[in-house]
Amino acid sequence: MKLDVIDHDFTMGIRQIEFSLFEWIRLKLGQAVFVFHAKKNNWTRENPWYVTKCNIHEQYFLDYPHSHKELLRCPLCNNSPITEPQLVESKLLEDQLVEMPTVQ
């Protein structure tokens, strides 16, 4: 299912991103979902990008982990709705999903 996501880094607007049911549920629960690896113009390497929901704007946004605390920040208000442990969990899940193609 598709969701409108605020993207101030690539499309400079709202983009639609397709999520699986499992990812969609994770987003509804306020967790982060990995979407792709990408780099911005002046970066030397790619970073992982995630989507999560700003609990102030009630909108989904695309961002990469900032600083040593690895927080995702809403481009509209700089709010960090997701905590570091939650993001670490998302990263672990990202690895697991590769080896877990079927749902029981």
Give residues in contact with Zn ion (CB under 5 A). 54, 56-57, 74, 76-77, 79
Q: Which is nearer to Zn ion, 54 or 62 (CB)?
A: 54
Residue number, 76 or 100, with CB nearest to Zn ion: 76
Cβ closest to Zn ion, residue 17 vs residue 93: 17
Min separation Cβ 48 and Zn ion, Å: 21
CA atoms within 13 A on the CB side of 102: 1
Q: Which residues pair with 61 in a beta bridge?
A: 6, 52
Q: How far apart are alpha carbons 86 and 45 in whole angstroms?
A: 24
